[in-house]
Copies of this chain bind each other. A is one copy, B any other.
Amino acid sequence: MMDFKFNDAVEKWDIYEICLNGPDSGNPFLEYNLQGHFKGKCESIVVDGFYDGNGRYKIRFMPSFEGKYAFEVKGNFIETVLKGEFYVAPPSKENHGPVRVANECHFAYDDGTPYYSIGTTCYVWNLQSDERIAETIETLKNSAFNKIRFCVFPKHYVYNLGEPRSYPYVGSPMDSSVLTKENFNDYNFRREGNNFDYERFNPEHFSHIEKCIAILRDLNIEADLILLHPYDRWGFSMMTEKQDDLYIKYCVARFASYRNIWWSLANEYDLIPHKSISDWERIAGIICEKDPYNHLRSIHNCRPFYDHSRPWITHCSIQRQDLYKHVEYTDEWRSKWRKPIVLDEISYEGDIQHGWGNINGQELVRRFWESAVRGGYPGHGETFFHPEDVLWWSHGGKLHGESHKRFGFLLKIMKETPGFGLRQLSLNWDDVCGTADDVNAFIKPIKDYYLFYFSFMCPTFREYHFDDDTKFQVNVIDTWNMTVEDKGVHQGKFNIDLGGRQYMAVQMKKVKE
């Protein structure tokens, strides 16, 4: 009988893990497989196990229901089917389950709690030193971020010439001492000098990422995990179909049981010359087949958008295509694809040389509000010049900007929205207005809730006249200074003073008689 461990209880949407010993000869990643079959009253799910090195194999399962579960484990190295039972307890208070698409605009946790995404990007925060990672976690703890984009693979790019803490494959990398700020681009998509076995994973790399995902989970932060990306000097973006498929399956087997996982097939899919649309579709197919929990799936562009109408895509992960106008297209894009719009790159707050990373805090906060009030989900990043090249956008660490201090306030306002979120409403040509995205809101001529945003405009006041009878409780919001001023109850035709300054919003809640 094999060494076979399991616990007898787990919380709903947590991980039930089975560990067992097995062969470590040959290439276990290729030669050995195992599956777990988990049955509860309301679900029956098969998941792949994976090899975790040193002769250890694991199977992970995320139960979506409470109560008793039974399981069976089979595998090509297991002589007798292994069986067991466990009990799934109610979720703890902060555990709302995975995030799902609630409707064509919005997200909600599996328990029905609305989820208003406030994202950030730290591409390889997870591959930095322990000290840096601890610093990043401390920063995240004190932030409003509830989603973070990051990579499984290391990143080779401007300000990213250092070595990662570990590699996903067994082997050795090229000598990076030859890299300079001037020549680094010449090494992109060049495999020479690397000596990796692209069919033999380094389990430590993956188990470290799991620790990071778990920490994020415990901070209620969604892990928007980027599986492939183009900034590569190690050959990880140039693997064969077989190697890619092996990798994708390994990621799903290891990570899918974390409730806070989102699958981002790529950062800037269109910049990887070694992948075609049919590759992305094949990879998407594997994820759909292998992830029994249907975690959110997206693919992020540099220039052309992917065809977000593809059924496997749950939400649009968008990098803006235009220097000037982008988040303002939220409604247009949603009308086209009928999926939630996540604006994962709308230029980062910073002062580096590149236009994708040098807007100021006011401008990024403006972009956040512009998208939020339209029911879109904006993303942050920070790219301040740093003498040691520690830029939040890639490395994590500390935040140096001004925008991040304002997102908690925005999130608080977003959480006051009735229902799952806002949807853009056309009123005057110079109003940006969101209203509660529920069916009733669109039937009724007068809505229950309005959130107007005035962006860079500086109105001294605005005039309103919905009808003669309906009463509204009105708040004036200074989105930059984070103040809410109660303007009392208004009815009929009325003016609201706004102080003639930028970044103001008006929130109106219908007074229930």
Contacts and interface: CB of A to CB of B under 8 A. Distances in A.
Interface of A: 182, 322-325, 328, 350-356, 358-360, 363, 385, 428-430, 456-463, 493, 500, 502
A354 B356 CA distance: 32
Contact of A360 (B351, B358, B430, B456): B456
A456 B360 CA distance: 8
B456 A359 contact: yes
A429 B355 contact: yes
23 contacts: A182-B493, A322-B325, A323-B328, A323-B430, A324-B324, A324-B325, A324-B328, A325-B325, A351-B460, A351-B500, A353-B462, A354-B430, A355-B459, A356-B430, A358-B457, A358-B458, A358-B459, A358-B460, A358-B500, A359-B456, A359-B458, A385-B460, A385-B500
Nearest to A502: B360
A457 B359 contact: yes
B463 A430 contact: no
Given A385-B500, A500-B385, A355 B324 contact: no
Contacts of A351: 458-460, 500
Contacts of A428: 355
A321 to B, nearest CB: 10
Contacts of A324: 324-325, 328
Given A322-B325, A355-B459, A358-B457, 8 more contacts: A182-B493, A350-B458, A355-B429, A358-B500, A359-B456, A359-B457, A360-B502, A363-B456
A353 B360 CA distance: 26
Nearest to A500: B351
Copies of this subunit: 2
Determine the main DSSP class of A at the interface with B.
Answer: loop
Nearest to A361: B458
Contacts of A463: 353
Nearest to A349: B458
Contacts of A385: 460, 500
A458 B355 CA distance: 8
Nearest to A326: B324
Given A385-B500, A502-B360, A323 B458 contact: no
A505 to B, nearest CB: 15
B353 A461 contact: yes
A462 B352 CA distance: 8
B500 A460 contact: no
A429 to B, nearest CB: 7
Contacts of A502: 360
A430 to B, nearest CB: 3
B325 A457 contact: no
Of A359, A385, A493, A500, the most chain B CB neighbours within 10 A belong to A500
A363 B358 CA distance: 17
A434 to B, nearest CB: 16
Nearest to A351: B500
Nearest to A322: B325
A464 to B, nearest CB: 10
Of A355, A356, A359, A457, the most chain B CB neighbours within 10 A belong to A457
Given A360-B502, A500-B385, A355 B460 contact: no
A499 B493 CA distance: 48
Of A356, A358, A459, the most chain B CB neighbours within 10 A belong to A358
A392 to B, nearest CB: 16
A353 B322 contact: no
A435 to B, nearest CB: 19
A355 B500 CA distance: 12
Contacts of A458: 350-351, 358-360
Of A322, A350, A353, A356, the most chain B CB neighbours within 10 A belong to A353
B352 A460 contact: yes
Contacts of A429: 323, 355
Given A385-B500, A456-B360, A430 B462 contact: no
Contacts of A363: 456
